[in-house]
Structure 1
Amino acid sequence: MITLITVLIVIAAIALVLIVLVQNSKGGGLSSGFSSSNAIMGVRKTTDFLEKATWGLAGFIMVMSIVCVMIRPKATTTLQPEVGAPAPVNTGAPDMSTTLPAIPSNNAPAPATEQPATPPAE
């Protein structure tokens, strides 16, 4: 179900991009081609349709995004052990669940190693 909603969101986003590219920021756009003749819908109706389609697709994307988040499967994590569960065994290893070990970077200088002192030659 989430895959279907995601595909619909992608299709609507592509359609929204195409509709916005057809429009002209100064009111020309697709309607400027009909300035000499009011062919199918007329100049004003073309602009109104493109504006309504833009708002409709933007609203559709927002609603579908919210629906997609609401129906996603919830992850269940418990920090407390379940009642009747065996106690964790202490193996002596450090608990790495909250901290990460320091990872040396490649840019760090190599650690200096001490050379054993050599006795003076007699």
Structure 2
Amino acid sequence: MVNLLTILTGVICLLLMLVVLIQNPKGGGIDSTFGGTQANQVIGASRSTDVIEKITWGLAAALFILCIVTALAVGAQGAGAAGGL
């Protein structure tokens, strides 16, 4: 269980890094490196910024919750092992 939570935490960390790197530091939306001009024409500049921002906040919240759940799982696993001695 703890191994699965740890792997999931790592995957969310990688996704969060990628999403943050896609963002333009000036708040202009999707970076032109990733086809920003085409993406802005298709879904609009303000819309792409909203989507990327919501994904960022969602991944950050998921990471926060997963860290707490993993800490509780490790604590429960350690207490179970210590109680059996």
TM-score, scaled relative to structure 2: 0.75
Q: Which has the higher helix share?
A: 2
Q: Residues 26-45 of structure 1 correspond to what in structure 2 (within 5 A)?
A: 26-30=26-30, 33-34=36-37, 38-39=41-42, 41-45=43-47
Which aligned runs of 4 or more in structure 1 are off by greater than 4 angstroms?
none
Q: Could you list the runs of 5+ residues in structure 2 that have no partner in the other structure?
A: none
Which protein is bigger by CA-based radius of gyration? 1
Equivalent residues of 1:31, 1:46 under 8 A apart: no
Cα deviation code 1:89-121 (max 9, x no counterpart): xxxxxxxxxxxxxxxxxxxxxxxxxxxxxxxxx
Q: Residues 1-122 of structure 1 correspond to what in structure 2 (within 5 A)?
A: 1-30=1-30, 33-34=36-37, 38-39=41-42, 41-72=43-74, 73-75=77-79, 76=82
Q: Distance in 2 between the 1:58 and 1:18 partners?
A: 12
TM-score, scaled relative to structure 1: 0.54
1:23 CA drift (Å): 0.5
Aligned residue pairs, count? 75
Cα deviation code 1:8-59 (max 9, x no counterpart): 1101100110111110111124166238x621x2211110011111111111
